[in-house]
């Protein structure tokens, strides 16, 4: 008698098309996913690495610390004279820790450029001892590893305004790949679920099977963090993604627009200590914050003239989620408005936190470690996925 052959059940319509989408999208954008995942993973511990490498510039010698730092204008002038750059100093970041140095930043962009190196005219960070005026370190951030990694991750070294879409499209497709991957992984029953959660390689000898398990099992564990990374990534790229978040969190498509209050004391002669007055008042208003940033060139990010002096206060070192803002009259230094983090609506709070969520820093050091591991797995998925496809394509005929 002939033995009855058990025919395998045909995959469902959903799994069939999930498999096709997963394959087609993987082959089409796999190389971009690999580059974006690798650079993002390398960027995760940027602060920890830089804090160690720049320790001597960040921290001031105890014997030089005095009660009162030098005027910001005096320090600004000293930096300008020593570096002799053709561009003005953009801003200064002032830590509330007296043992940490001030950070003066030169930053200028060329709107007509098409790539990162032409777009960034200058990006220099200068660490200054605020008590003596001594320059402790000058770092050309334009050619530093981490800003370059960030640019590759953000725009593949293309101009940031439109390069983000070049990366954004593959990231959207990657999100679809993650969803289809979860559908393909999902077991039919408890019995088939046993081999889906961990590796069982006792009797497995072929590299193809091991590679398949690496792709499937590691991909499943990383997929949920990867979805969070992907969605928080396209939040930066596409206004419609922001609008969805804004409407979901606060019932409005757009974030509340702050009307920039024009300095009312414009008829008065400018107080030369206006930046020091702003810094002094900020310290009083936010005594337990980490640091605050003051723009010094009178321009906003888009290059337009500022109507006042907007000071951004950061609650925690290395995080942007909890931010407050105070605006000062640019002639007299009087407080025009004070908006602490607690007064922001849910959409505004998320907008501030999105970067930290994307990098894992929102969840502290443990979050960064988890994001780093998930990033490594995401970097491996295009490789193991390609090898799965290659292995099936070059499958040898079964012996009779």
Buried-state track 291-321, b at ≥16 Cβ within 10 A, e below 16: bbbbbbbeeeeeeeebbbbbbbbbbeebbbb
| Average pLDDT over every residue of 53-74 | 93
Q: What is the phi/psi pair of residue 58, to 5°?
A: -75, -40
DSSP string, 227-259: HHHHHHHHHHH-HHHHHHHHHHHHS-SSPPPPP
* pLDDT at res. 247: 94
Structure tokens at 309: 């002096």
H-only helix segments in 156-296: 160-185, 190-193, 207-213, 219-237, 239-250, 274-285
Length of the chain: 400
291-322 tens-digit pLDDT = 999 999 988 777 788 889 999 999 999 999 99
Sign of the C-alpha dihedral computed for residues 229, 231, 232 and 235 taken in this order: positive
As a whole-number percent, the residues of the chain with pLDDT over 70 amount to 92
What is the Cα–Cα distance from 77 to 57, expressed in whole angstroms? 19
**Does residue 20 register a pLDDT over 80?**
yes
Q: What distances in angstroms separate CA 365 from CA 172, 315, 318, one per listed residue?
A: 28, 17, 11
Structure tokens at 219: 């991909």
Which of 276, 284, 274 has the alpha carbon at shortest distance from 306? 274
**Does residue 377 register a pLDDT over 70?**
yes
pLDDT band at 194 (very low <50, low <70, confident <90, very high): low
């Amino acid at each position: 008698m002939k033995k009855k052959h058990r025919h395998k059940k045909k995959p469902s319509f959903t799994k069939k098309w999930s498999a096709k989408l997963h394959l087609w999208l993987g082959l089409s954008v796999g190389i971009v996913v690999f580059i974006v995942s690798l650079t993002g993973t390398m960027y995760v511990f940027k602060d920890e690495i830089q804090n160690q490498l720049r320790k001597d510039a960040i921290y001031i010698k105890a014997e030089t610390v005095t009660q009162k730092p030098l005027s910001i204008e005096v320090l600004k002038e000293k930096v300008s004279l020593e570096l002799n750059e053709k561009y003005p100093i953009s801003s200064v970041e002032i830590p509330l820790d007296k043992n940490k140095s001030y950070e003066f930043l030169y930053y200028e962009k060329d709107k007509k450029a098409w790539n990162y190196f032409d777009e960034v005219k200058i990006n220099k960070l200068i660490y200054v001892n605020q008590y003596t005026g001594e320059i402790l370190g000058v770092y050309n951030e334009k050619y530093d590893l981490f800003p370059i990694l960030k640019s590759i991750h953000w725009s593949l070294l293309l101009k940031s305004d439109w390069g983000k879409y070049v990366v954004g499209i593959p990231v959207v497709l990657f999100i679809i790949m993650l969803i289809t991957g979860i559908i393909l992984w999902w077991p039919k029953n408890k019995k088939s679920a046993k081999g889906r959660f961990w590796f069982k390689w006792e009797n497995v000898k072929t590299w193809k099977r091991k590679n398949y398990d690496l792709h499937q099992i590691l991909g499943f564990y990383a997929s949920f963090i990867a979805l969070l990374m992907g969605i928080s990534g396209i939040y930066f790229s596409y206004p419609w993604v922001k609008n969805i978040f804004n409407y979901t969190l606060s019932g409005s498509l757009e974030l509340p627009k702050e009307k920039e209050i024009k300095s009312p004391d414009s008829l008065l002669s400018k107080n030369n200590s206006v930046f020091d007055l702003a810094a002094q008042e900020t310290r009083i208003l936010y005594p337990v914050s980490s640091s605050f940033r003051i723009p010094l060139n009178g321009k906003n990010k888009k290059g337009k003239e500022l109507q006042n002096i907007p000071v951004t206060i950061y609650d925690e070192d290395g995080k942007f989620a909890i931010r407050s803002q105070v605006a000062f009259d640019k002639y007299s230094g009087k407080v025009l408005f004070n908006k602490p983090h607690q007064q922001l609506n849910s959409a505004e709070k998320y907008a501030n936190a999105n970067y930290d969520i994307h990098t894992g820093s929102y969840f502290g050091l443990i979050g960064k470690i988890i994001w780093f591991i998930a990033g490594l797995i995401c970097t491996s998925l295009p490789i193991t996925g390609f090898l799965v496809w290659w292995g099936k394509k070059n499958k040898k005929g079964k012996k009779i």
